[in-house]
Structure 1
Amino acid sequence: MAGDKETLLSMGFDPARVDWALRATNNRGLQPAMDHIIENEGKPVPDPSAAAPSTSTGEPMDVDGDDEDEEALRSLMRTQTSASGAVEEAKSIKCSECGKIFKNTALANFHAEKSGHDQFEESTEDIKPLTEEEKKQKLAELREKMAAKRSVKSEQEAKEARANEAIRRKSGKDVGKLKEEMQAKELVKQAEQKRREKLEDAKAKAAVKAQIEADKKARAEKAAKEKALREGQPIIDTATGASTASGGTTPSSSGSAAKETRLQIRMASGGTPYTTTLSSEATLREVAEFLAGQTLDVDVETVTFAQNFPRKTFSRDHFNKTLRELGLTPSAVLIAS
């Protein structure tokens, strides 16, 4: 009915749902329409063209196949035999279980589906239309029910949102922790790379210095031999420390006067010793640079040296002193650690 539709629209219901409710209840009143809207809240509105076919009386057919039950309900509405034998017209249908009265079979069937009640009887009671006061009361009840449903739905959505946020935060923490671990590993890798580059650089510098010393030694020997030949003096063999003339020998140089020092360097951790020959004027730091050029296990800035015979330990203060000053000429054995 136009009045029921306008009332429902004034309540703020969607026009499509209002039409659906009035159509489903066969325009039987405001209360059935409101009940229908509440029961089907959240369900999609069906296409009106796909609505169930109706009977010749304009009432919906039973799509579930309960034709016999519906026919029995209709027969109850047609007539009723009173105790005096008079025939009275049935004006409504009454639910024997809860006592509610319905105007037609459609509303009775709707109540049966909603409540599960299946005991009905005919009634001669006439259902009066709702007064304005009753309409307001029903409207208030409907709004209260809808507000309660919205509150429950809102609380559920808030709960889901909190759960999703907790999952998101946990995921963010896990990702952050993984990134930190990867960054830490990358820093360790970079530090190791820098250390290797530093050792390689020290090794290259030591090799260059060793080559320079060898070149200086070769040039000095050549110049000494040429000078001796020009002046007719004995030629000194730097390897043996012996000097030779055309028919004789000269005594070897003393240890403190030796120009070169032969070194054997052993690692405190064991392994094959390293041997080299350096100028007696070379510093202990140059010895450390030579050793760093031979193995990555030695750092020039941290390595220390010791001598077993005589027992002696060289500190960092000795690194700028020459091998001659340290008494390591003409040969010595050092322990590196």
Structure 2
Amino acid sequence: MSTTDLDQLIDMGFDKEKAELAVKKSGNLTAAIDWLDKNADKSIEHIKAEDTQAAEEKSAEAAAQAQSLVCNDCGKKMRGVAEAEYHATKSGHENFSESTDEVKPLTEEEKKQKLQDLREKMAAKKAQLSEQDKIDAKRNEQISRKKTKESEDIKEQLKVKEQIKDAEAKRREKQADIDAKKRIQAKIAADKEERRLKAEQQKALRAGQAPPPVPEGKHEHLYYLDRKLTKSTAAPQPTGPSTSKPASEYTETRLRFQTPSGNVMKTFPVDTTLFEVASAVADEIGQDVESFTQTFPKKVFDKEFFGETLKDLKMVPSASLIVK
């Protein structure tokens, strides 16, 4: 065969070393293609080993005048042992026998048809691989989309949970502010009522009249008030050294607030928190309170101190604070 035949076989995708061996073993391009088709699954080493064995067997067959081998399972005739072994590998057949019939070479028409069948087979295999690649690519894209959607769904669920958590925290904070303001308002109302009762008691005592009826829950306070007023109207007592009242005995404290709009005086129970005081002052001046500054001793009470009581902050029995 010519070099042109070898080039054609290489262009068709055959291995160069196998193609060279096929050219050497065959008489034309068609025969070379037929040989390559039969030996497609064999390595070069295997083919060379088969050639050696075939040469030995050929000598033996020549002595026995055997012209071919026949597959007893399907009846196909083969030129030699190598072809028979290849047939056994592809078909799984195992029963072979010698034959004196010579395997006729293919006609030109048969060669052309075999070459065309081989080309079609290779084209079909290539198309099958291409179609499989498309199917694999489509499946991989679907998997990727599914993973992306699942990831987005998880992120959305986490976002919703965070929003619910933030809303609940804000609701609790708002409710705490409302409850604190209610306590302050109730305290202010109680202070107003207490001052009213004090005024009525004082007025009645000055006029020498019986004091007005005492509402339930006010007896202890008015008893103390009666003692105080009676003592203040009695004959003067000899003066002597006086002792100041301990801060621990005070139940109320009087605070003076210096605000941007002026000074404000208020009285609170000693167990009132600084947060409640800030809420009451905020209602009074119409703006939020961020901190208090004590003039003497100099000290700043920011929101870190709002949970402590006036008693704990040593603002009993009185204190002067600058509001910010």
* TM-score, normalised with respect to structure 1: 0.46
* Structure with the higher helix share, 1 or 2: 2
* TM-score, normalised with respect to structure 2: 0.48
